[in-house]
Structure 1
Amino acid sequence: MADDLTKSFLKTTNDKKYIEDIEDERFSYFLTNQKSRFSSSVSRNEVISLEFHPAGNRIAYSRVDGSLNIWKFLSNDGRFGKNVQYTYVRNCINSEKIASDLSWNPQELDHLAAASNSNEILVWSHNDMNKTIAKLKTLVVKGSKTKINRCLYDPTGNWLLGATKQELIYLFNTQNEYELQFTFDLWETLGYQSSITSITWDNSGSNIFLGLRNGKIIVLEFSHNTENNEVKFAILLGIEAHRNSINNIRMDPCGKYLIAGSTDGTCSIWDTTTLCCVHVITELNAAIVSLDIDHLGKILSICTGDDHLHFYNIPDFKLIENINIPPLGSDAVITFHPDRSWYVLSSKGDTLQNHFSTVNDELQNWYSTYEKNLNVVRNNRQNQSGVGKPHSQPNNRNSDRHYDNNKISKDKDRHRNNGRKNDNMSRQHNRYYNE
């Protein structure tokens, strides 16, 4: 039943009346170009990084043209309508660079970190009233040729991780003015070279999972000694996971599975307690370019390079829905809302769409369906109990009272008659005795 309701919920989110265009600067440009009589082909401007704040109050995404788009939700409905504030920054880094990766600080509602494929990580504060961003910190590492292309806060917000495509991983302490706490040389520890293509923390912030270009998954254990403030990274495991580059790696919100998507067209699912592979999705016919898991840990979404969106059920990983995406010309991107099973998806012309529903997720869909079925059962029972009864019939309490009164009066008559019989018998007895 849960699987059927999940499928019903996903069909709702793909209904036209529940699809909302995100009307940012790109959408306005694309719409104007489509309506113009002198329209030409629209140049590509794909989304590079798309990130919701863990609290669900903001979403930010960067594009190839160097722009940054930030939406703040003013209500809890999660829709990109009147109850949002939109901030557009044309060149968030500078005119020559783009934000290659974004990450929100889970401890702050408006702090956003950005890597730019350089030796710097910028930390901004988003001012939604003025619709601007202000630079809080510029984190610089040694070496002008160093290119940090990924940044990621840990789940506690105490640490910010920066990683290059090559061998270096940097760890900044957010509680100590973003001081560079530790530098880890991956290649030196592994003993071989392979680029880092994807990275994620586990839900506790004690382990880091790296996806490599050679198809391996590297598990790093992170430890912090609070007494001497010492930080250590240790390689726990290296897994031969895929035959080609791992583009996407995600941790299940429930902490049960680690999911990796590769350019070889397969998706592997790993049990986090044993780090054994429990399933491999092999029916995909193209490279995986994006994937995500909803906040209940029930739905796995996968975008492939042939412009298809696949939804799989967790934990049996059976295909629920397969949807064609309008031809993009660039890699599709999908991400779920952090507090509901709605999702943001790439659309035609590198625009974005919000897919929502009348309920927040498949659990509420089950509850509303259960309530409807329960009401039907109740109504049927009431109708069956009311068949054949006259409308003027008194209620049960009055009927019982009427029955009790009749019984009492009959009992009184019976006692009265018994008394009369006893009197007659006593007279006859006295007469007999006297005679």
Structure 2
Amino acid sequence: MEETVPFKNLQSREYHGHEKKVHSVAWNCAGTKLASGSVDQTARIWHIEPHGHSKAKGVELRGHTDSVDQLCWDPKHADLVATASGDKTVRLWDARTGKCAQLAELSGENINITYKPDGTHIAVGNRDDELTILDVRKFKPIHKRKFNYEVNEIAWNTTSDIFFLTTGNGTVEVLSYPSLKPVDTLMAHTAGCYCIAIDPCGRYFAVGSADSLVSLWDISEMLCVRTFTKLESPVRTISFNHTGEYLACASEDWFIDISNVQTGRTVHQIPCRAAMNSVEWNPKTNLLAYAGDDKIKPPGEGIFRIFGFKSSS
């Protein structure tokens, strides 16, 4: 029996619209819209058709006065997106109108943002290793904590009772939620842990590190079950696909590695022309959005790409 090779005859499409490089891409919960955040101080909303694409630049979200470093969608509302910026604010936007619906002024330059899976809270991390939890309804901080170590990415598990921090010490700090009391410290890597992704099926989480490895952890046991070794540079960004079957990992290497989660084997590699800043799978289908440090013509234009389209030929 011939084994089917996933992703074999698929291709990427390029989306242009930002004036400077794109730092972050994220899909809404319906998988119909993509948000991109850029150094040009804006975010944009794109309608993505699974079998065709619009050349329109979509709705522009304008208001930040510094780079939009990360963004995330409300997991329960397909038209609400939150942005974190170096201007110390977090903003909540209506993706249909491009209007800012809520604004919170925080104490530092924000570099991380993630939604609680039920959509009630937003966690924000800043350059000073301070974590702020916002109540989405009032858009006010309900919890603040400063850590005495480098905090990189942050995430809830799918049931929202565990909160993860990846640290510059090579550890993953496991906190209970909502108390944020320490539960465990996982000695995950020999160098700083940069990024974390949660398997949508709730079985695993993956951690990308400066040691160029990605580790896969069983959530119920808090044990490392596998490592992915294809990258040679510090791992910047990782994402599970909607079935939890595949993991996309990217770094300063000029390719994105897609591996089978169960076997650890590479099933496909997407060539890139630059280091990648953000990869994210669509929550409904195998479309992978990715953005990096591309320098293309016209000079300084920011682009992102989506892989997974069938060849039009």
Q: Fold-level match, TM-score > 0.5?
A: yes
Spell out, residue by residue over 1:97-153, the C-alpha distance to the aligned partner (whole angstroms, 9 max, x if none). 1112111112322222111134421112223xxxx5212111134x5xx33322211
Equivalent position SS for 1:356: strand
Q: Please state how far the C-alpha of 1:297 moved relative to its aligned partner.
A: 0.9
Q: Which structure has greater helix proportion?
A: 1
Structure 1 210/111 Cα, relative in aligned 2: closer, same or farther at 3 Å?
A: same
Q: Which structure has greater strand proportion?
A: 2
Q: Is the 8 A contact 1:161 1:170 kept in 2?
A: yes
Q: Is the 8 A contact 2:204 2:219 kept in 1?
A: yes
> Partners of 2:33 and 2:183 in 1: how far apart?
35
Alignment partner for residue 252 of structure 1, among 166, 174, 199? 199
Please tell me whether residue 306 in structure 1 is matched to residue 253 in structure 2. Answer: yes
Alignment partner for residue 59 of structure 2, among 84, 87, 90? 87
Q: How many residues align?
A: 304
The correspondence of residues 215-226 of structure 1 with structure 2, limited to 5 A, is 215-223=170-178
Q: Please state how far the C-alpha of 1:198 moved relative to its aligned partner.
A: 0.8
> Partners of 1:173 and 1:88 in 2: how far apart?
25
> Partners of 2:98 and 2:195 in 1: how far apart?
29
Please tell me whether residue 264 in structure 1 is matched to residue 239 in structure 2. Answer: no
Structure 1 300/124 Cα, relative in aligned 2: closer, same or farther at 3 Å?
A: same
Q: Please state how far the C-alpha of 1:274 moved relative to its aligned partner.
A: 0.6
The correspondence of residues 333-372 of structure 1 with structure 2, limited to 5 A, is 333-346=278-291, 349=296, 351-357=303-309
Structure 1 233/133 Cα, relative in aligned 2: closer, same or farther at 3 Å?
A: same
Alignment partner for residue 128 of structure 2, among 144, 163, 166? 166
Q: Residue type of the partner of 2:9?
A: T
Instruction: Specify the alignment match of 1:60 in structure 2.
Output: 35
Spell out, residue by residue over 1:293-344, the C-alpha distance to the aligned partner (whole angstroms, 9 max, x if none). 110111111123121221211212112223432x22x435322111001212
Q: Is the 8 A contact 2:25 2:289 kept in 1?
A: no
Q: Is the 8 A contact 1:166 1:194 kept in 2?
A: no
Equivalent position SS for 1:139: strand
Spell out, residue by residue over 1:347-380, the C-alpha distance to the aligned partner (whole angstroms, 9 max, x if none). 7535222222459xxxxxxxxxxxxxxxxxxxxx
Q: Please state how far the C-alpha of 1:210 moved relative to its aligned partner.
A: 0.8
> Partners of 1:103 and 1:112 in 2: how far apart?
6
Identity rate, percent: 19
Alignment partner for residue 25 of structure 1, among 17, 24, 36? 17
Instruction: Specify the alignment match of 1:205 in structure 2.
Output: 160
Instruction: Specify the alignment match of 1:178 in structure 2.
Output: 139
Structure 1: runs of 5+ lacking an equivalent: 30-44, 188-192, 224-231, 360-435
Q: Residue type of the partner of 2:167?
A: L
> Partners of 1:246 and 1:252 in 2: how far apart?
17
Equivalent position SS for 1:333: strand
Structure 1 105/323 Cα, relative in aligned 2: closer, same or farther at 3 Å?
A: closer
Q: Residue type of the partner of 2:58?
A: Y
Structure 1 263/46 Cα, relative in aligned 2: closer, same or farther at 3 Å?
A: farther
Q: Is the 8 A contact 1:248 1:289 kept in 2?
A: yes
Structure 2: runs of 5+ lacking an equivalent: 297-301
Please tell me whether residue 140 in structure 1 is matched to residue 101 in structure 2. Answer: no
Structure 1 86/119 Cα, relative in aligned 2: closer, same or farther at 3 Å?
A: closer
- How large is the Cα RMSD of the aligned pairs? 2.5
> Partners of 1:277 and 1:242 in 2: how far apart?
11
Q: Please state how far the C-alpha of 1:12 moved relative to its aligned partner.
A: 1.9
Q: Is the 8 A contact 2:251 2:277 kept in 1?
A: yes
Please tell me whether residue 9 in structure 1 is matched to residue 9 in structure 2. Answer: no
Spell out, residue by residue over 1:278-306, the C-alpha distance to the aligned partner (whole angstroms, 9 max, x if none). 11223432221222111011111112312
Q: Is the 8 A contact 1:9 1:357 kept in 2?
A: no
Q: Residue type of the partner of 1:184?
A: R
Spell out, residue by residue over 1:377-415, the C-alpha distance to the aligned partner (whole angstroms, 9 max, x if none). xxxxxxxxxxxxxxxxxxxxxxxxxxxxxxxxxxxxxxx
Structure 1 243/354 Cα, relative in aligned 2: closer, same or farther at 3 Å?
A: same
Q: Is the 8 A contact 1:80 1:354 kept in 2?
A: no
